Structure 1
Amino acid sequence: MTVSTSQLQRFAGDLSFPLDRFQIDACTALEAGHGVLVCAPTGAGKTIIGEFAVHLALAAGRKCFYTTPIKALSNQKFAELTARYGRDTVGLLTGDSSINPDAPIVIMTTEVLRNMLYASSDALRGLSHVVMDEVHYLADRFRGAVWEEVILHLSQDVRLVSLSATVSNAEEFGAWMETVRGDTTVVVDENRPVPLSQHIMVGRRLFDLFDSRSQSRDGAAKLVVDRELIRHVKQRQSLDHADRWQAPHGRGRGRGGHNTSAANRPLPRPEVIAKLDQEGLLPAITFIFSRAGCDGALTQCLRSRLVLTTPEQAEEIRYIIDKHTSELPREDLEVLGYWEWREALERGLAAHHAGMLPVFRHTVEELFVKGLVRAVFATETLALGINMPARTVVLEKLVKYNGETHAELTPGEYTQLTGRAGRRGIDVEGHAVVLWQPGTEPTEVAGLASTRTFPLRSSFRPGYNMSINLVEQFGAAESRELLERSFAQFQADRSVVGLVRGIDRNAKTLEQLLARLGGADGEYFEYAALRERLKDREKTLEKQGRQDRRDRAVDSLRGLSRGDVVSIPSGKRSGLAVVLEPDDDRADPRPLVLTEDAWAGHLSASDFPSPAESLGRMRLPRFVDHRTARTRRDLSAALRSTGISAASDRKRRRSTAADDRELATLRRSIRSHAVHSRPDRDELGRIGERYNKLARDTESMRQKVSATTNSLARTFDRILSLLNERDYITSGRTPSVTEHGSRLSRIYSESDLLVAECLRQGLWRGLAPAELAAVVSAVVFESRQEGDTTPQGPTGPIRHALAETVRVWGELRADEVRHKLPPTREPEMGFVKAVYRWASNNTLADALLAAGDHGKALSGGDFVRWCRQVIDLLDQVRLATPDPELSKTASRAVSALRRGVVAVDAA
């Protein structure tokens, strides 16, 4: 394919492969001075456009920032660009790494660039291009706002290269980019560079999901589920049903005494991998939606005889392992599960999930890319950008836990996971394999595989830190305008277009109905108003009557004594009952009774539409054990023999409505009204009812439009109101940031305002370094299960500081409720002891046990990740606090934490 533009010609000339059409289109637009949004499947080669942006910046003597959502991707891109342009030209900036930051090309996490923009960093000078890799991360509900902040804050003369997975609303996203960034070319490519074949593995048989022989008349392939697969699955289901019927009677058992329905379960993992190897479908990634599941699958394979490597490959694997792990403290290897992990790698097997030590994950990634690890069991996080393509992707289940409930995979999730299958330049085609088990329907799998719906939804919401930085940079008025230009507000405004059209349609219909009713001042509306008042009065009296009856029933129940015999008027317990235990509760008395049919239980006012009356008394034994069946039988027989009968002639009470003067007046007014005697009164009533319903619906739509329009700006105003109360910004039409606010602007924690308040009130002063780390962990750590929020700690100063932190959180939460703002998360204590022990130079084993989550020790990867987040917040405390002693303590705490496995992974 011909490349016509000059810089693109030079760039393409250095590549070892020809550019695809979508790459040429995007690069051409970029060289013409446009921003670009590129949406393409995983592995299609989107990053080539990002690398061309680097080329253009260098050719012009300018800078290019290449941003990624996670450190692992930043490290990967740093290695690639360093190999291409040399160490002097490329830098790296992540949360804990700073390599050559003044280089013309700097790879960084998106948060780093956001912080640069808020600080008006000198590093932004000379910047001509920014690449935002994996820009669809702006849908992430925890970190997505960062991407929109960067897009909105970047100088207009910076060309933005946005690289996204395939999304179904790319045009909508591109239209927004056009409004906030100027000329933006949207390039969408839905063709996978390597075709994907879909399969279902039923037992040991591997079936194609679709019948490749089915062709439409014009030659295009139709997605028809393979008939042989459907027949085979039906046979398996029939056997399974038959076996379920037979098993309770001792039949339907195969060898070893197991139910033959076990044969309908998926193969054991080692056999699945061996089958894929036999079919030539390795390397493979098996997605299992839990960390424990991944580790369990690896353990199963280790217990088998499965070996996927040659002795020469095992030797190379050992060399790479040693290269990555040589700095790990020897004494920590056992607790990290190092030896089992190493053995698995030497056999070509691995797990990959966030609970692993990062250095372990990076080793697995390198070995997999080199083709030395052939089977990986991974959680879905691997699908989010890590460069680990495979020949085959295996899905064990089509259901995953989403944090709240078990939910079926969406077509977008299925597409993202299976997008890893097929290595460009290596595989002729990729393969997606679903393991069949009872309940898995081939037609449902086909629906997932053939649908390409993956809409991008903004998660952008203003927070305290963002609001302070906006006011500091732009002032309140311009900040509101900026929020109104966000993708979140853009989508919200688009969502009301249909409502606005509906309101317009309804308004025309309402005008027509109004004319038929004689106009707004016509006599019908006076008549309708009287009818409405009558209806409201009847409802009020009915409600009042119900409450009066309940009050009388409550009073009567409170007045009952032990041994009183009452009549239950209706329901399945109707008939006589004797009071065993009275109850004088003022609001809801519930006496314990025994009925004549030997039921014992509590009655309430709802059982008595009219007051309960004692019909007589019955002598009871001193002690009555109503839980004993014999006692109940004897007492019920005694009750029936008392000769007392249920009262049948209750006194009739006049209804409240019968004596109500207002109700009588309204009825007379209606009967004497002119409309009441009109022959078309019923027709007018139907028109009026339609008019009123339509008017109510229209008002509801108007309220929805009002709530949606400028919703972010209103949230921003509520935040400013709270910040003004707490002296973080000044009041008035042009609020400015106070000294306290300036400190808040440097805190990027999820609990930013809580941290700022703790610093402001000096709650963390006087702590030792390990104690400060422990206290800070409480506002960072978040348990995977329900966490402990009771202030606790190994020392008195820790317990006191945590108690004060929780107190401030409670006050802040009350203010947030009052201002109708999302509440700050409550501090959690689950990592306090672990951080304290680690910062006090205890062993890793001791720290992991102290961080136990519901009796289970924290994984090494989670421990390092939380330590890293504590370090990050301590670093912010060091820079934000006005107290020089606290600043020094925070610095010492960082040094105390950054040792051993934490230091290795920070390198």
Structure 2
Amino acid sequence: MTRLDEFTARLAFRLDEFQHRACTALEGGHGVLVCAPTGAGKTIVGEFAVHLALTGGTKCFYTTPIKALSNQKYADLAAVHGATSVGLLTGDNSINPDAPVVVMTTEVLRNMIYANSRALGGLTHVVMDEVHFLADRFRGAVWEEVILHLDPEVRVVSLSATVSNAEEFGDWIQTVRGDTTVIVDEHRPVPLSQHMLVGSRMFDLFDPAAPPGPAGPRRAEVNPELKRYIRNRILLNDGRDDRRRGRDGQAGRGAGRGGTRPPSRPDLVARLDREGLLPAIGFIFSRAGCDGALKQCLRSGLSLLGPEEMDAVDEVVDRHIADLSPADEDILGVAEWRAGLRRGFAAHHAGLLPTFRHAVEELFTHGLVKMVFATETLALGINMPARTVVLERLVKYNGEAHVDLTPGEYTQLTGRAGRRGIDVEGHAVVVWTPEAVPEQVAGLAGARTFPLRSSFQPEYNMAVNLIGRLGLDGSRELLNRSFAQFQADRSVVGQARKVDEARRRLRKLDVDLAGAAENRGLEPGGPVGDDATDDEPYAGFLGYVQLREDIRRRERDLKSERRAADNRSTLADLAALKRGHVIGLHGGRHRGLAVVLEAAAQSADPKPLVLSEDAWCGRVGARDFVNPPEVLGNMRLPKQVDRRTGRGRRDLASALRSTGIEAPRGRSKKRAAAADDRELARLRRALRAHPAHRLDGNDELFRLAERRNRVVREIVSAERVIGERTSTLGVMFSHIVGVLEELGYLEVRSTKSGESRAEVTAAGQLLSRIYSESDLLVTECIRGGVWDGLAPHELAAVVAAMVFETRRESFAGADAMPGNAALRNALARTVEIWRDVTVVEARHRIAPTREPDTGFSVAVSLWASGRSLTESLAAAGERGQLLSPGDFVRWNRMVVDLLEQIRLGVGADTRLADSARAAVSSIRRGVVAAELGA
């Protein structure tokens, strides 16, 4: 019996074809990359890797991107293989770390590799769950570091959501890891039906009468009944608005939305319940939105659970809050949270206390929570499948701006719909609003995959670890093997092909040019070949042709500069127009006089509202003017202008014509060309003086030469693109090495052969153990003794400034120095060092290290001093942070993590290590201790 047979014998189901192929390849000694939809059962391949390690007497590490998923996977594997065989390492949690199977976050494995941990001995398999996190711009590099650094004998099991460039990703893994089998399966084990909810009516998104598209159950045609209903609904609503304007004289506030409002959350849940579509996850892309939806349902009186189910909920809740004190329960709102759970509702987002989220996940999995309002973080690997997924909006805030959902994000979110072995099909419901166009939703639903793009780039900690292990040349070689470089190299294949083709054309053109010159009796030297060489015997003539092209280019540049200046002037003049200004229109369909009714609202693209003398009313922008608008006069306007009715517009136009202001005849003269441009004059003189100027300008010789110059420009442009794309990582690494050398973390010297050698200094060894976004700043502060002598709660406060990042605009920044004199002095000196570091970074063209943020410093200082959760949260609120309990625990986790790194980095026999140890101990209490120990 094979080990795969042993494994499948204990399963309650048969393996799907893709699972069987992947497990067979794994048993055959291959690495595997498995790309399949959410819920398809990819993790069974990872579980088989665990089985292979246990039966073979070796080790398997199972890595995940987030601690919550690690905790969940640890519980699953421990339930199957026993607690003695499975361990857990998540940075702030260590359970049985010497077990043959250890579940961990990917960062933990990366740190073990850099530390050359003894735990790596006997390791034969590494499972990288959710490996598509490699694209994450903040943490994605960790996945590439692990894949690149693992011993070649280790078999890597990479589990990914479906990506459109799986073959490219697989090719890279094969290149850097050796024999790897790539398995792509796009089949969903539970079919997904797409719907739109318009008001109280539910429609299929795709036309049920249309034939299936190439993607199987997905249909290409949008449901015509859905489109017709939306169109009628909008028309009906517009009619109501017109009648309202007729009564009120103008549209009321919120007009245009009365008949297009989405259903209330309680109505939505009730509708899903009637349709048999619960349990459901409603994705709302804000924490406040999730909490607000929950409160709406609680106020409605709606309940989804019976008495026995309520008792079961109480049992789970009591177990999860057992470690909370009564005071903590009050401030955490346990009573209201419990009330929602007892009626089948819950919120799920990062602002909640982790124990609350774990309880929700357990209750939802057991069917005791019917409706969860969640942010998109729930879609990142947590095992919470539902029958239905609801999307209220197709726009989310990405930290910088509100952006449309991508097809990949839509697929990830809706992938939660459909429970394998329970549901015949899953359902994705998009709530219609005027902004949610059915064709847009169909485009998202029809795009099954998204491309995986590397986010790998060298950083300070990575650089010293790489150089310490591999040296300078070895580090550069490893960077060249990264997926980022692999993609860059692939992207220039087309450019390289263009260069090769262009060079062939260039050689042919040189032959043709020589023939044409000989036909004209021109010699390689002589009057048009004074700069001749063996490679370019007609270089002088080519120089003449280049002069002609330089003149044309200069004329185009001057024209472009003139046009840009005109455009800037037009924008400035449009932005300066005031109500009542009369201007002239010359472009577009409307000409003559126009009066400004409303000044422009935006300075970047000003578009004032005007009414022309032919009674047209609309906004005009820079494109409507050949020349900047000129104020011809002023017109007195009534306070209330009737521009919505035809009669009102005609009366205004008549008043405009009667002002006596005359429109200028014809168009204004364009600004004269820069005829006195010195560079243009110099080029023209050189052209007239050139010996080839006497030749016929229409001769074939000129046409061939111009074609040759165009090909040369093609080659130069393509080679520049190739150079830029293939050298980015190397250039960035060199800049980082420059910073580290200047600050004493590396000693770089040249050998007799001219090669550069680098050695990591003692300071560099310390930096290699600090894994933080502000790693260099932290190490500089330790080296400078800035934090020596601080009490534990003070050290916690200053370390918090290294990790905390304000979510709101109320950035505490470098000028907010809270606490006592010792803490204020330490923070001030920390900021001084930060400024010095950024000066060095600017000199080496490196993006500056993030500024310390003291927004959490007072809260963690109070908590580490033994103050209550109420006081600590209130302190954060006083500084404008308004931290949720979940955020409070999360930031304390990060402070503890960095304190532990500092303790281990500086050595056991130092005052700073003692203070860090005491700070960790003082933070690990109450609700924080309960979560860190979970």
TM-score range, shorter chain: 0.7 to 0.9
Pick one of 318, 330, 333 that aligns with 1:334.
Answer: 330
Q: Find the aligned partners of 1:140 and 1:299 in 2 and give their Cα distance.
A: 33
- 1:66 matched to 2:62? The reply is yes
Q: Give 1:314 deviation, angstroms.
A: 0.6
Q: Does 1:236 align with 2:261?
A: no
Q: Does 1:719 align with 2:742?
A: no
Relative to structure 1, the CA distance from residue 350 to residue 873 in structure 2 (aligned partners, 3 Å threshold; closer, same or farther) is same
Q: Structure 1 residues 666, 339: CA separation in 2 closer, same or farther (over 3 Å shift)?
A: closer
Conservation of the 8 A alpha-carbon contact between 1:156 and 1:181 = yes
Matched, 1:774 2:803: no
Aligned to 1:831: 856
Aligned length: 797
Number of the residue aligned with 1:814: 839
**Partners of 2:795 and 2:916 within 8 A in 1:** yes
| 1:253 and 1:259 in contact (8 A); partners too | no
How far apart are residue 358 of structure 1 and its match?
0.6
Amino acid in the other structure paired with 1:236:
R
Instruction: Provide the residue aligned with 1:757 in structure 2.
Output: 780
Show the counterpart of 2:193: 197
Match of 1:224 in 2: 221
Distance 1:336 1:697, change over 3 A: farther
Distance 2:732 2:876 in 1: 37
Shift of 1:857: 1.7
Instruction: Give ranges in structure 2 of 5+ residues lacking alignment.
Output: 518-535, 563-582, 586-673, 750-755
Counterparts in 2 of 1:67 and 1:535: CA distance versus 1, 3 Å: closer
The code of the aligned residue for 1:329 comes to S
Task: Output the amino acid matched with 1:242.
Answer: G
| d(CA) in 2 for partners of 1:202, 1:187 | 40
User: What whole-Å deviation, never above 9, does each CA across 1:492-543 have from its counterpart, x for those lacking one?
Assistant: 1111111111222222333344455558332422423555787899999999
Structure 1 distance, partners of 2:261, 2:249, is 16
Q: Which range moved further: 524-533 or 437-446?
A: 524-533
More deviation in 697-706 or 884-893? 697-706
For residues 268-325 of structure 1, give each alpha carbon's deviation from its aligned partner in whole angstroms, at most 9, with x where no partner exists.
Answer: 0000000000000000000001111111111111111110111111111011001011
Matches within 5 A, 1:404-419: 404-419=400-415
Residues 783 and 853 of structure 1 are in contact (CA less than 8 Å); yes or no, is this contact kept in structure 2? no
Name the counterpart of 1:800. 825
Describe how 1:282-301 pairs up with structure 2 within 5 A: 282-301=278-297
Structure 1 partner of 2:449: 453
CA contact (8 A) 2:735 2:846 kept: yes
Other-structure match for 1:851: 876
Decide whether the 8 Å contact of 1:541 with 1:656 is kept in 2.
no
Q: Secondary structure at the match of 1:876?
A: helix
Cα distance in 2 for partners of 1:140, 1:217 equals: 32
Alpha-carbon spacing, 1:395–1:675, altered in 2? closer, same or farther (3 Å): same
2:482 aligned residue? 486
1:727–1:738: 8 Å Cα contact kept in structure 2? yes
Q: What secondary structure does 1:224 align onto?
A: coil
The SS at the match of 1:734 is: strand
Distance 1:108 1:145 in 2: 17
Q: Distance in 1 between matches of 2:132 and 2:47?
A: 19
| Equivalent residues of 2:212, 2:220 under 8 A apart | no
Q: CA deviation at 1:262?
A: 2.1
Q: Secondary structure at the match of 1:730?
A: strand
Q: Does 1:896 align with 2:919?
A: no
Maintained 8 Å contact 1:92/1:106: yes
Instruction: Sort the Cα spacing of 1:440 and 1:695 in 2 relative to 1 into closer, same or farther, 3 A.
Output: same
Distance 1:245 1:46, change over 3 A: same
Partners in 2 of 1:514 and 1:811 — Cα distance? Answer: 56
The answer to whether the Cα contact below 8 Å between 2:287 and 2:375 also exists between their aligned partners in 1 is: yes
Whether 2:132 is the aligned partner of 1:116: answer: no
Aligned CA RMSD, in angstroms, stands at: 3.1
**1: CA distance, partners of 2:226 / 2:725:** 49
**Residue equivalent to 2:589:** none
Q: Alpha-carbon deviation of 1:682?
A: 6.7
Cα shift at 1:209: 1.1
Deviation at 1:686, TM superposition (A): 5.3
| Distance verdict in 2 for CA 1:529–1:335, change over 3 Å | same
Match of 2:537 in 1: 521
Structure 2 residue aligned with 1:77: 73
Match of 1:742 among 765, 789, 801: 765
Supply the distance in 1 between the matched residues of 2:248 and 2:306 (Cα, whole angstroms): 46
Give the letter for the 1:761 counterpart: G
Q: 2:85 aligns with which of 89, 92, 107?
A: 89
Name the counterpart of 2:370: 374
Shift of the 396–515 alpha-carbon distance from structure 1 to 2, 3 Å rule, reads same
Counterpart CA distance in 2 for 1:126 and 1:543 is 67
Q: State the shift of 1:710 in Å.
A: 4.0
TM superposition shift of 1:42: 0.8
* 1:700 lines up with 2:681 in the alignment: no
DSSP 3-state at the match of 1:481: helix
CA distance in 2, matches of 1:783, 1:313: 40
Distance apart, 1:669 and its partner CA? 5.7
Where structure 1 has 5 or more consecutive residues not aligned to the other structure, the ranges are 546-569, 573-654
| 2:472 partner amino acid | A
Paired residues for 1:433-832 under 5 Å: 433-518=429-514, 520-522=536-538, 523-528=540-545, 531=548, 670-671=687-688, 673-681=690-698, 687-732=704-749, 733-786=756-809, 787-789=811-813, 790-832=815-857
Q: Residue type of the partner of 2:791?
A: A
What amino acid does structure 1 have at the position aligned with 2:928?
V
Deviations 1:751-773 (A, max 9, x none): 10110100001011111111111
1:679/1:53 Cα in 2 relative to 1: closer, same or farther (>3 Å)? same
Counterpart CA distance in 1 for 2:431 and 2:21 is: 40
Residue 125 in 1 paired to residue 92 in 2?
no
| Alpha-carbon distance in structure 2 between the residues aligned to 1:690 and 1:706 | 25
Q: Secondary structure at the match of 1:162?
A: strand
C-alpha separation in 1, matches of 2:256 and 2:778: 59
Alpha-carbon distance, 1:223 to partner: 2.8
Aligned partner of 1:422 in structure 2 is 418
Query: Does 1:56 find its partner at 2:62?
Result: no
- For the residue of structure 2 that corresponds to 1:167, the secondary structure is coil
TM-superposed CA distance for 1:821, in Å, is 1.8
Comparing 892-901 and 238-247, the one that deviates more = 238-247
SS of corresponding position for 2:330: coil
Partner Cα distance (2:558, 2:191) in 1: 72
* Aligned-partner SS, 1:736: strand
Match of 2:667? none
Deviation at 1:375, TM superposition (A): 0.1
Contact kept in structure 2, 1:517 and 1:524, CA below 8 Å: no
Report Cα offsets for 1:429-448 as digits up to 9, x if no partner.
00000111113221221111
Partner of 2:911: 885
2:789 maps to a residue whose letter is: G
For the residues of structure 2 that align with 1:441 and 1:140, how far apart are their CA atoms?
29
Q: Does structure 1 residue 325 correspond to structure 2 residue 321?
A: yes
Q: Work out the CA distance in 2 between the residues paired with 1:122 and 1:217.
A: 54
1:871 paired residue among 867, 879, 896 = 896
**8 Å contact kept, 1:246–1:252:** no
Contact map agreement 1:239 1:261 (CA 8 A) in 2:
no
TM-score by length of 2: 0.81
Classify 1:525/1:31 alpha carbon distance in 2 versus 1 (closer, same or farther; 3 Å): same
2:139 paired residue number: 143
Distance, in Å, in 1 between the alignment partners of 2:133 and 2:762 is: 33
User: Identity over the aligned pairs, expressed in percent?
Assistant: 58
What CA distance in whole angstroms lies between the structure 2 residues aligned with 1:699 and 1:263?
59
* Residues 1:862 and 2:859 are matched in the alignment: no
- Closer, same or farther in 2 for the Cα pair 1:731/1:700, shift >3 Å? same
Letter of the 2:806 counterpart: S
